[in-house]
């Protein structure tokens, strides 16, 4: 039983990292570009960082949303189908 719980935890963390990766990568890339822009122009405005990151996160969510939903549904349906084998 403990090995089943460990495997479920490992799969859950894997799915969570996989689903959140596109938004995190898009946000990091835009943050890096904005930081480079701020360093070259010496403009240090805090709102200049947040607005592009929010827009990039929203665009990544729109673009990768169906794929993310597909991964979450596949994981959840697999978990629910395997539920009878967990109950012993």
Say if 2 falls within a structural domain: no
Give the pLDDT confidence score for residue 43 in this predicted structure. Answer: 82
Say if 4 falls within a structural domain: no
Give the pLDDT confidence score for residue 48 in this predicted structure. Answer: 81
Structurally, the chain folds into a number of domains equal to: 1
Give the pLDDT confidence score for residue 5 in this predicted structure. Answer: 85
Q: Which of 19, 14, 27, 15 is nearest to 67 (CA)?
A: 19
CA angle 44, 45, 51 (to 5 degrees): 130
Q: What is the pTM of this model?
A: 0.80
Q: Which residues contact 51 (CB under 8 A, 6 or more apart)?
A: none
Say if 5 falls within a structural domain: no
Query: Which range marks the domain in which residue 35 is found?
Result: 11-86
Give the pLDDT confidence score for residue 81 in this predicted structure. Answer: 92
Say if 49 falls within a structural domain: yes
Which residues of the chain are modeled with pLDDT < 50? none
Say if 6 falls within a structural domain: no
């Amino acid at each position: 039983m403990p090995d089943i719980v460990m495997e479920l935890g490992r799969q859950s963390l894997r799915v969570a990292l996989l689903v959140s990766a596109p938004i995190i990568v898009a946000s990091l890339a835009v943050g890096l570009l904005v930081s480079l822009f701020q360093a070259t122009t010496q403009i240090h405005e805090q709102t200049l960082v947040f607005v592009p990151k929010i827009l990039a996160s929203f665009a990544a969510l729109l673009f990768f949303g169906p794929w993310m939903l597909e991964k979450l549904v596949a994981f959840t349906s697999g978990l629910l189908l395997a539920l009878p084998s967990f109950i012993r």
